[in-house]
Amino acid sequence: MDIAAPRNVDKYVPEFTVKKLEGKRNQEILSFTDTGKLIKKVIEVDAGWMVYFPAKKHSLRITTKDELERLGFDQTIKLVDNDGEVGAQIPNPLAVVK
């Protein structure tokens, strides 16, 4: 009995996905006085957004919603294969209605 090898089927994944991070995080701000002394200040900021790129296995943290929109992560999400070829598009739940 011969068993056929599986067909070489392209696997499509979202170009990116976005997840809102919960809570706050501490951010260290560095500045200098007029005399050149270093001042460290820790402020609490929103945790931000995590953008995942499944095809490349990378991620990126975005601090504000404005920055998220400026970079285009609120747009329609493309489905891509392993070579980066676009197969289709899916609606983005973060899309802003204008």
Domain map (residue ranges) of the chain: 13-90
Q: Give the count of beta carbons closer than 10 Å to the beta carbon of residue 15.
A: 20
Per mean pLDDT, which of 3-7, 63-67, 81-85 is the most reliable?
63-67
| pLDDT of 32 above 80 | yes
pTM: 0.70
What's the CA dihedral at 77, 83, 85, 88 to 10 degrees? -50
Q: Which residue has the higher pLDDT, 57 or 97?
A: 57
Q: Which residue has the higher pLDDT, 6 or 23?
A: 23
pLDDT band at 95 (very low <50, low <70, confident <90, very high): low
Q: Using alpha carbons only, what angle is made at residue 70 by residues 78 and 62, rounded to the nearest 5 degrees?
A: 85
DSSP result, 13-73:
EES-EEEEPPSEEEEEEEEE-TT--EEEEEEEEE--EEEEETTTTEEEEE--HHHHHHTTT
Q: Give the count of beta carbons closer than 10 Å to the beta carbon of residue 77.
A: 19
Confidence at residue 39, expressed as pLDDT on a 0 to 100 scale: 95
